Amino acid sequence: MTARMASWLPLSPGERAVAIEVLVHGPLSRTELARRLGLSAGSLTRLTKPLIESGLLVETPENGAPAAGRQGRPSQPLDVVADSRFFVGFKVTEDMVYGVVTTLRSDIVARLDRPLTTHDPGRVADLLAAMTGELAAGFPPLGGVGIGVGGLVRERSVVAESPFLHWRDVPLAALVEERTGLPAVVENDVAALVEAETWFGAGRGLDRFVVLTIGAGLGYGLVLGGRRVPCAEEDRGFGRHWIIDPYGPLTPTGERGSAVSLLTIPSIRYQVQAATGRETTYEEILAGAAAGEPMAARVVGEAARALGILVAQIANFVMPQKILLAGEGVGLMDVAGDTVRTTLRAHRHPMAAPVDLEVRVSDFHDWARGAAVLAIQVLVLGAVEA
């Protein structure tokens, strides 16, 4: 076996800042890093030396665009050794486990999905360990495991409460660590996705950033000062009481006219089925609305207006620099994006800054990637919970 690097390197605040900046913002020369971090050139020589020696960073040998006409000594960009360590991320749903392997940069290099046939904590941990073994096969230096679960998670290790798994106080991280011998990190699935987007996605470098996910439920994540704001109700219950239209539809979940009733995939399917009597998929409904079917168009239009109002309220009160729409349900924006944007504008002050609204289609592997990012944060960089 090759010499294994320590999984946890104690980094000074300055070193951590350098490591994160390079990790998140691609290859950067020392001078550029000095400019971005407000440090002197000398300090960067000092800070980068141990990072290079530890193998986390390298001076990129290939000078992609070598100075291109600029004179002077060419810069020596530093980059993370993306494949020096790999990370495994899981998203656990009621009946499936989605797994990915990512590089340090959080690029997905392998995927593996398995049905979940039991909710017994030990068996679930067994499955996660087995999947980790399979996933790790091609990637020897494994840095750790991140696990995203719907529900309330404490200390990044214990599932305090998960309604759909019927778990209470399950020390999932410990169970997986026992079976794999790898450090493990557990987090709420939405929280993990938000962290991933904050570090490597749409929220890079932003001070105020909001993530709104639409799917089987609603997810909401608030990032202030680069840190996610934790909150008590983040166990899949967002939006049940966000009343958009008191005279809106009544559905099995969520109050009448709530964001959940108007926007989630099950509620939209329920509304169409209740009106037409036919079972239809979400995609069929969106296609129907685009084709002008009255019932689908009405439900989708209402959803789009609700989304516009919701985004406007967030923009009005939080004033984020960007709002990211993610999840399986964002196909709504393709069909009715104009309605959303028109409604959004109508609920904003004319002089207010326009809302930077980004849409990202995300499947379950993106959620698993989020969990892997959390592992990178905690295990490589020693980032701690708020």
Partner DNA sequence: CCTCGTTGATTTCGTGACGAAAAAAATTGG
Partner DNA sequence: CCAATTTTTTTCGTCACGAAATCAACGAGG
What angle (nearest 5°) sits at the alpha carbon of residue 310, between those of residues 321 and 165?
100
Contact with DNA (CB under 7 A) among 10, 61, 72, 277:
72
Contacting residues for 191 by C-beta, under 8 A, at least 6 apart: 153, 221, 228, 230, 234
Q: By CB under 7 A, is residue 45 in contact with DNA?
A: yes
Give the SS3 label for residue 119.
coil
- From residue 211, how far is each of 147, 206, 214, 250, 298 by CA, in Å? 19, 12, 10, 26, 26
Nearest alpha carbon to residue 25 among 193, 197, 192, 200: 200
316: contact with DNA by CB under 7 A: no
Q: Is 73 in the site for DNA (CB under 7 A)?
A: yes
Pick the piece of the chain touching DNA (CB under 7 A) from 23-31, 278-286, 297-305, 342-350. 23-31
The continuous run of DSSP H or E covering 154 comes out as strand 152-154
Nearest to 275 by CA among 245, 298, 303, 295: 295
39 binds DNA (CB under 7 A): yes
Identify the helix (H) or strand (E) that includes residue 24.
helix 13-24
* Stretch of 50-58, 65-73, 184-192, 217-225 lying at the interface with its own copies (CB under 8 A): 217-225
Q: Which of 3, 68, 232, 384 binds its own copies (CB under 8 A)?
A: 232
Among its own copies, DNA, none, what does residue 43 contact (CB within 5–8 Å per kind)?
DNA
Which span (27-35, 110-118, 124-132, 215-223) binds DNA, by CB under 7 A?
27-35
Q: Could you tell me the two tokens for 13?
A: 């605040």
Least gap, CB of 13 to its own copies (angstroms): 14
Q: How far is the CB of 376 from DNA (least distance, A)?
A: 23
Q: Which is nearer to its own copies, 183 or 239 (CB)?
A: 239
Least Å distance, CB 382 to DNA, is 14
Structure tokens at 4: 């294994």
Determine, following the binding rule CB under 7 A, whether residue 61 of this chain makes contact with DNA.
no
Binding at 274: pick from its own copies, DNA, none (beta carbon under 5-8 Å per type)? none
Q: What are phi and psi of 101, to 5 degrees?
A: -115, 135
Among 42, 122, 163, 294, binds DNA (CB under 7 A): 42
Residue of 273, 319, 338, 342 that binds its own copies (CB under 8 A): 319
Query: Apex CA 186: angle with CA 239 and CA 181, to 5°?
Result: 165
Which of DNA, its own copies, none sits in contact with 174, Cβ below 5 to 8 A by type?
Answer: none
Based on CB atoms, which residue is closest to DNA, 1 or 6?
6
Q: What is the DSSP string of 371-384?
A: HHHHHIIIIIH---
CA angle 149, 383, 133 (to 5 degrees): 50
Question: Binding its own copies by CB under 8 A: which of 41, 52, 96, 231?
Answer: 231
Find the distance separating the first CA and the last CA of the chain, reported in whole Å: 37
Q: Does 385 bind its own copies (CB under 8 A)?
A: no
Q: Which is nearer to its own copies, 177 or 235 (CB)?
A: 235
Cβ-based neighbours of 32, under 8 Å, separated by 6 or more: 75
Nearer CB in complex with DNA: 67/229: 67
Q: Which residue in the set 122, 225, 294, 382 belongs to the binding site for its own copies (CB under 8 A)?
A: 225
Q: Which residue has the tokens 């904050």?
A: 198
Among residues 126, 104, 108, the alpha carbon closest in space to that of 117 is found at 126
**CB 74 → DNA: shortest distance, Å?**
5
Describe the strand order of the beta sheet including 218-224 as a list of residue ranges.
Answer: 227-228, 218-224, 208-214, 322-327, 357-361
Contacts (CB under 8 A) with its own copies, residues 326-365: 346-353
Contact between 250 and its own copies (CB under 8 A)? no
Site residues for DNA per CB under 7 A:
12-14, 29-31, 38-48, 67, 69-77
Site residues for its own copies per CB under 8 A:
208, 210, 220, 222, 224-225, 229, 231-233, 235, 237-238, 240-243, 245-246, 309, 312-314, 316-319, 346-353
